[in-house]
Amino acid sequence: MSEKTPVVKLNKETLEASFLQIDYLKGLKKDQISGLCKLFDGKISSDDLEDFEKLFRSVDTEGTNQFPVTQLGNVLRMLQQLPTESEISQLIETVNPKKPQPAQEKKAETKKTDKKSDSKNSKAPAEEVEEVEKIDFFKYLLALGLYVRDPHEIADEVKKAFQILDRNKQQYIMTADLRDFLSKLGDCLTDEEIDEMIKLADTESNGQIRYEEFVDMMTNLSPDKKKGKKGKKKKGKKKK
C-alpha cells in the first residue's frame, strides 16, 4: 500500500503570502493580516483555505462580499463543526461587536418619536425594517480561526458519544436515547429540529440508529444539508 502524502500546514510566512493573494482581503491593514496569520499558524493547509473561500462565496448570495451574521452558525456546521447557539452568540459578539449608539443620536431619536406621537393629524409612520448585520471575509476568517477545530478531534468526540449511548455494544442506539442525548446538547437544537434529525437518521424507520447514521447526522446539522437529504429521499421513492 502506498503511503498517504502528509498534509502540509501553512506557517506565518506562507499564510501571509496566501492571504495577500485573496481578493476579499485586499485593502486590509498589515496588523489585521498579521492577526490572521497568528490565528491560523500551523493549523490549516492551502486546501483548507481554498475551501474556506469557496464556502464564503457560496453563502455570499447577493455578491456583496459579506453574508448575514445570522448565517454564521450554519456556516460553521457546513464545515462539520458542532457549535451551540450560545457559542455562536459569543463568537458573533467577539468578531462583530455592536457599536454603542452615541448619546446625541439617542436624544435626537427620542425627540422625533415624541413629536410623532404628539401630532394628531400625522399619518402612522411606516414600519422600520431592522437592518441585518453582515460579516465580511475578514470577520468570517476571524470566526473560523477562533472556533474551528480539527475534524479528527470532532470525529473522536462523536465516536465516544456513540459508544456511551450504545450501552449494550449492539452497534446501534435507540431513537429514544438519541433524543435524550440531543436535548442535552445545550440550546443548540429545538424539539422540531431534533424530530427532523431523528427522522432523517433512522433511514430504516425501525427506531435504531447505526454508527454510520449517527456520524452522518452529527456532522451534517446545517438546515441546508437537511433539505438536501430530504430531496434525495424523495427521488429514491419516485424510482421505486
Mean pLDDT of 5-33: 92
- Residue pLDDT, tens place only, 156-172: 888 888 898 998 888 99
Taking CA atoms, 164 is separated from 16, 169, 181, 200, in Å, by 43, 9, 10, 21
Alpha helices (H) along 124-166: 137-147, 151-165
Mean pLDDT of 53-74: 93
Average pLDDT, whole number, for the chain? Answer: 79
Q: Does residue 140 surpass a pLDDT of 60? A: yes
* CA distance linking residue 214 with residue 120, whole number of Å: 62
Q: State the pLDDT confidence band at 82, using cuts at 50, 70 and 90.
A: confident
pTM beyond 0.75, yes or no: no
3-state secondary structure of 57: helix
pLDDT of residue 63: 93
Is CATH 1.10.238.10 the classification given to domain 152-234? yes
Domains 12-98+132-149 and 152-234 share a fold: yes
CATH topology for 12-98+132-149?
Recoverin; domain 1 (1.10.238)
pLDDT of residue 104: 55
Determine whether 107 is exposed, middle or buried from the number of CB atoms within 10 Å of its CB (0-12, 13-18, 19+). Answer: exposed
- Residue pLDDT, tens place only, 93-120: 999 887 665 555 555 555 555 555 454 4
Mean pLDDT of 215-233: 53
Domain definitions of the chain by residue range: 12-98+132-149, 152-234
- Which residues lie below 8 Å from residue 68, measured CB to CB, with a gap of 6+? 132, 133, 134, 135
pLDDT of residue 152: 73
